[in-house]
Structure 1
């Protein structure tokens, strides 16, 4: 049994949280993603108090059992949802030229440094959402093959990356980072290429905005997105080989 059983995401607000509370272990986290939800833990008690003041008792927002402070954990499912096809990540011409010049310097891998990618995505981010509890659940999902990372390397230095959770033919883009210009964009393009090779059909960018639109994301109605999640299609293992970035351009 999951706290999300019986929750009708279709009836939830389009631009606000769907629910608060519940547990943040690996099983419940995967159950949430299967229903088109993703978590947003509160950074501190003040953020939790704001959630309660702003959304407590709001129409369509569920309060899930579990946890000492339900408003410390929000679950979202924006409508519409920004999505990309695996082969649709946009690499501008200027970047393509740079990648060709760096063909012997930048390489990519998948799932070789999942924990390092998580730590880099959390580093210096305010407000803090990638909490230790969430990171622990994601590491467990990675061990189970349900969460993946792509790493961008310059020699032996990790210069960019992205991670996300897989549900059938859909892979989320939960967070990304860069230590070199455009390395995060390269990580997303590489993840798309690998996921497409594994049979994936859709990358979910979660939050709409200029950055994800620049990657090539387009809005998809939540009803259609949920139908994509429910599709019977399954994906194979994500190829993890060390590969040159030049193949992406």
Structure 2
């Protein structure tokens, strides 16, 4: 029997799938998105009607059986999926790993700098370029930009050079809720620039009192950064802890300080 819940706060994740969507439907808005992140969920919008139809073909039986919930709102529930993987890869802000070769590079002649929240829109655009599936839709980007204006979504940028020669070569963005900041997506235009962005975000968020970075999807790359798979129940318990007390430092800093 189809199981409909009024909103993300009503979702019971104790028995929800850990390797597939836990719900479909609902609407994307700043309030709804923040509520989802506080509950340990994140959205994967379908890029178009064909992607929504694929969601229905793949998960429709689970929805009909009540194994995956439906949220009210939206013309096509399968156009918006909500995920909460189990286990969840988690990094501690001060424990992001950087390889020795990168440390040697940064101590050499390379001039890399980092900033926070200076070019949020540009980071979103770069993260969306060429990505499949194309989950970073225009609708989701608009909501994230609104959250950025409210101080809830953040970016870190990595720059090469100075002045007129300055070039954006890497970055990461995510949403801060409670003691956690998500690593929604990252990009690089130079080798290891995304690693620097994550390490810098961890350093800045740690300075603001944050305690964990949520890498969302497990895999070799996030493991190489130092992410540790964490049972969803433990992750949710940490997420319910005291929030970060400070604000994210936003100054321009040398990347070499991270190694």
Q: TM-score range by the shorter chain?
A: over 0.9
Distance 1:234 1:153 in 2: 27
Distance 2:28 2:91 in 1: 27
207, 214, 217: which one aligns with 1:207: 217
Distance 1:89 1:95 in 2: 13
Superposed displacement of residue 232, structure 1: 2.2
Quote the residue 2:133 is aligned against.
127
Pair 1:239-2:246 in alignment: no
Q: Structure 2: which 5+ runs fail to align?
A: 1-5
Q: Contact 1:42 / 1:72 at 8 angstroms: preserved in 2?
A: yes
Deviates more, 1:216-225 or 1:8-17: 8-17
1:14 aligned counterpart, secondary structure: coil
Q: Contact 1:194 / 1:238 at 8 angstroms: preserved in 2?
A: yes
Q: Contact 1:17 / 1:75 at 8 angstroms: preserved in 2?
A: yes
Distance 2:201 2:136 in 1: 20
221, 231, 235: which one aligns with 1:225: 235
The TM-score with structure 1 as length reference comes to: 0.96
The TM-score with structure 2 as length reference comes to: 0.93
Segments ≥4 residues shifted beyond 2 Å: 232-235
Pair 1:173-2:183 in alignment: yes
Q: How many residues align?
A: 247
User: Could you say what the CA RMSD is over the residues aligned between the two structures, in angstroms?
Assistant: 1.1
Q: Contact 1:163 / 1:174 at 8 angstroms: preserved in 2?
A: yes
Residues 158-205 of structure 1: per-residue CA shift (max 9 Å, x gap): 000000001111000000000111100000000000000000100000
Distance 1:8 1:25 in 2: 21
Quote the residue 1:86 is aligned against.
93
Quote the residue 1:18 is aligned against.
22
Residues 88-122 of structure 1: per-residue CA shift (max 9 Å, x gap): 1110111111111146x110000000000000000
Q: Structure 1: which 5+ runs fail to align?
A: none
Where do 1:180-191 residues align within 5 Å? Answer: 180-191=190-201
Where do 1:30-45 residues align within 5 Å? Answer: 30-45=34-49
Distance 2:245 2:108 in 1: 33
Q: Contact 1:168 / 1:235 at 8 angstroms: preserved in 2?
A: no
